[in-house]
Amino acid sequence: MSPVSKGVVIALADHDPRSRAGRPKRADARRNYEQLLEQARTAFAESGVDASLDEIARRAGVASGTLYRHFPTRLDLIEAVLAEQIAELVDLGRGLLATEDEFEALSTWLRATLTHGLTYRGLSAAVMNSALDRGNDLVSTWHAELFTVGGALLTRARQSGTVVADADEADVLKMVGAIAWAAQDTPDSAAQADRLLTLLLNGLRHSGLPGR
C-alpha cells in the first residue's frame, strides 16, 4: 500500500460516519433500533422517501410508538439509513485500498457508489433540502467522506499508471452522480447506468492497458 493510501486508511479509521451517540445502549432497544433501520432501508429502496413508517414498524416487529421513540420524525429515520449507507461505502473503499488490482478496486467502489445513488437518490434529496433549510453541514460531511475515500482509490490507481494522469476525483464522482440522475427514470435504469459507467471507466483507463 502506498504512503498516501496508508494515510487515508488511518484518517478514515479515526472517523466513522455512523454516529453512535444516538444509539440505544440496552440490548433489546438496540435490537429494535437495528431492525427498524434494516426494514427502513428495504422499504425506502422499494417505495422511496414516502414509504409507510407504520409498515416499517410492522416489518420490524415493533409498535409504531417504538419507531417514533427512536426516530421522532421521518427525516431522522432517513438520515440514519443514509448514514449507514455512507459508512458502508467508506468501509468498502477502505478495504479496497489494500487490494492488489488498483483499477479493479476503483471500478468496484464506483459501481457500489452508483448503485447507492440509484437506490437512495430520493432520500439524499430529502436530507439535502432539510439541511439547506436548517443550515447544518450533514450533507457536506457525507460528501467529504466519500470524496476522501474515492480520491484515495483514484490516486492509487493514477500512481500505478492504470488510469490517465489527469483524472480528477471531483470530476469522476460528479460524473457518477450524473449517471445516476440520467438513468433513474428509465425502464432499464440499472442496465443503462452500468453501460454509462463502463464508458466512464473506459475513458479513465490508461490507453496502454488492455480492456478487462
Residue pair 60/17 in contact (Cβ under 8 Å)? The answer is no
Is the pLDDT confidence value at 83 over 60?
A: yes
Q: How far apart are CA 12 and CA 94, in angstroms?
A: 8
Instruction: Flag whether 210 is in a domain.
Output: no
**pTM summary value:** 0.78
Confidence of residue 92 (pLDDT cuts 50, 70, 90): very high
pLDDT on residue 183: 87
Instruction: Flag whether 128 is in a domain.
Output: yes
Confidence of residue 203 (pLDDT cuts 50, 70, 90): very high
Instruction: Flag whether 200 is in a domain.
Output: yes
Q: How far apart are CA 146 and CA 149, in angstroms?
A: 5
Return the higher-pLDDT residue of 119 and 130.
119
Residue 79 in grid coordinates: 438520515
Instruction: Give the Å distances, CA to CA, from 137 to 76, 102, 134, 161.
Output: 15, 32, 9, 36
Instruction: Flag whether 90 is in a domain.
Output: yes
Instruction: Flag whether 117 is in a domain.
Output: yes
Q: Residue 124: which domain range?
A: 3-204
3-state DSSP assignment of residue 87: helix
Instruction: Flag whether 212 is in a domain.
Output: no
Q: What is the CATH number of the domain that holds 173?
A: 1.10.357.10
Q: How far apart are CA 77 and CA 52, in angstroms?
A: 12
Instruction: Flag whether 118 is in a domain.
Output: yes
3-state DSSP assignment of residue 205: strand
**Number of domains into which the chain is organized:** 1
Instruction: Flag whether 47 is in a domain.
Output: yes
pLDDT on residue 184: 82
Sign, CA dihedral 59-64-68-73, equals positive
